[in-house]
Amino acid sequence: MTAAPQLAQPRQIGRGLYSYWGFEIYQASLWVEPGFDAAALPAQRYALELLYRRNFKGRDIAERSIAEMRRVGSLSEAQAQRWLSAMQTVFPDVAAGDRLTGLNLPGRGAQFYANGKSVGEIPDPEFARLFFGIWLSEQTSAPQLRLSLLGQASTTP
């Protein structure tokens, strides 16, 4: 786990595969600290790691992130443009096998890592709430992946 040094006693509580139109896009994993409570996500440190199965341009990841953040909550056009610009600066192009990790920093924002190296921080708690909400909010476009990440997926048919 690339952000393990940033978490105290990290443990993976869930993971799942995200596919789109039958194509595997990435394997997502959620890493947490002891005492993690899914009901209080913004107030806790945790890391969301994406292991990519395909190649993507960083700018495309940023644009898709803004579209998904709009599903999670409202954001002004000014916020969208500011955050899009910040993500385009932080997110590198990825190839199959690359890992991008986001670390939630309560009250501060989000720190990002690419293949274990810090690539930047977006210092805005509202950004972090909506960004991680792409996967962890009840408004996510991938509800089954959310349940898997939070360790709440049913194992029975």
The three state secondary structure string of 64-126 is HHHHHHHHHCCCCHHHHHHHHHHHHHHCCCECCCCEEEEEEECCCEEEEEECCEEEEEECCHH
Distance, CA of 113 to CA of 3 (rounded, Å)? 7
CB 88 within 8 A of CB 59: yes
Q: Is residue 14 part of a domain?
A: yes
Question: What pLDDT does 114 receive?
Answer: 95
Q: Is residue 99 part of a domain?
A: yes
Q: Is residue 137 part of a domain?
A: yes
Which has the closest alpha carbon to 115: 95, 88, 135, 85?
A: 95
Question: What pLDDT does 5 receive?
Answer: 59
Q: Is residue 34 part of a domain?
A: yes
CATH number of the domain to which 17 belongs = 3.50.70.10
Question: What pLDDT does 95 receive?
Answer: 97
Q: Is residue 71 part of a domain?
A: yes
Structural domain total, the chain: 1
Q: Is residue 154 part of a domain?
A: no
Q: Is residue 156 part of a domain?
A: no
Q: Which residue has the tokens 């991680």?
A: 132
pTM of the complete model = 0.92
Q: Which residue has the tokens 């596919």?
A: 19
CB 150 within 8 A of CB 140: no
Question: What pLDDT does 152 receive?
Answer: 86
| Full pLDDT tens readout for the chain, 157 residues | 445 558 889 999 999 999 888 899 999 999 999 999 988 988 999 999 999 999 999 999 999 999 999 999 999 999 999 999 999 999 999 999 999 999 999 999 999 999 999 999 999 999 999 999 999 999 999 999 999 999 986 554 4
Q: Which domain holds residue 74?
A: 4-149
